[in-house]
Amino acid sequence: MSTEPSFRTLSASSDDERIGWRPAEVPLFHPQDLGPLFARGPRLLGEDDTAYDQLLSQVTATLEPRNPIEAFWVKEIVDRIWDTLLYKRIKAGFIAEAQKTAVKRLLQLSDRAVDQWWAGNKAATATVEKALKDRGLDWDTIRAKALSDKLDKLEQFDRMAESNIAGHDKTIGNLERRREGYARQRLQIMEATPRSDRSFPRG
């Protein structure tokens, strides 16, 4: 973890161009520099810290937080993206397990046969397809039977993901409004100050 913020040049906004002023190099305040505020919640089984760190780096490079407030928002955005992807993976796993259970129950197959079929074993696949045909069933019926009593749970996963997406959009809006206000403040200073005396706040 870096103990010193790195530096990069921020591109000028449209207001910067209007007032003929471009910011000097502004420190990139990385969310990891928040110290204890950066702490993540408990890891889940199989979570990939490297993937999280890559996502954090990509979002940080895109949004370029300039201070602790923006860095905190960037971390919140990353956490919401990460959790949304997690909910989608859990939902996919939930559907997969429900389908495997339905195949076992409706086709009266052993756990071993179902596991081999799910893993792509050709012989097991042929066994499942034959059992499906013998019982006059198709995969649409299997899926319907698998999920018919689990729609509430699937909707719960969807609501959790949608809530995270809404929170993500709200935080992005907060960041945009703060930067728009900062640009207006610079413009007001420029209009009220002789060019030779101009100085601007750093966000």
Question: Do the domain assignments include residue 202?
Answer: no
Question: Do the domain assignments include residue 30?
Answer: yes
Q: List, in sequence order, every residue forming a beta bridge with 26; answer none if it has no partner.
A: 8
Question: Do the domain assignments include residue 48?
Answer: yes
Q: Please state the domain count of the chain.
A: 1
In the chain, what are the helix, strand and coil shares in percent, each to the nearest 5? Answer: 70, 5, 25
| pLDDT, position 23 | 45
154 contacts 147 by C-beta, under 8 angstroms: yes
| pLDDT, position 39 | 73
71 contacts 33 by C-beta, under 8 angstroms: yes
Question: Do the domain assignments include residue 113?
Answer: yes
55 contacts 74 by C-beta, under 8 angstroms: no
Question: Do the domain assignments include residue 1?
Answer: no
| pLDDT, position 10 | 32
Residues of the chain with pLDDT under 70: 1-26, 41-45, 182-183, 185-203
Q: Which domain holds residue 112?
A: 6-35+44-197
> pLDDT tens for residues 140-179?
999 999 998 898 999 999 999 999 888 888 888 888 888 8
| pLDDT, position 131 | 94
Question: Do the domain assignments include residue 74?
Answer: yes
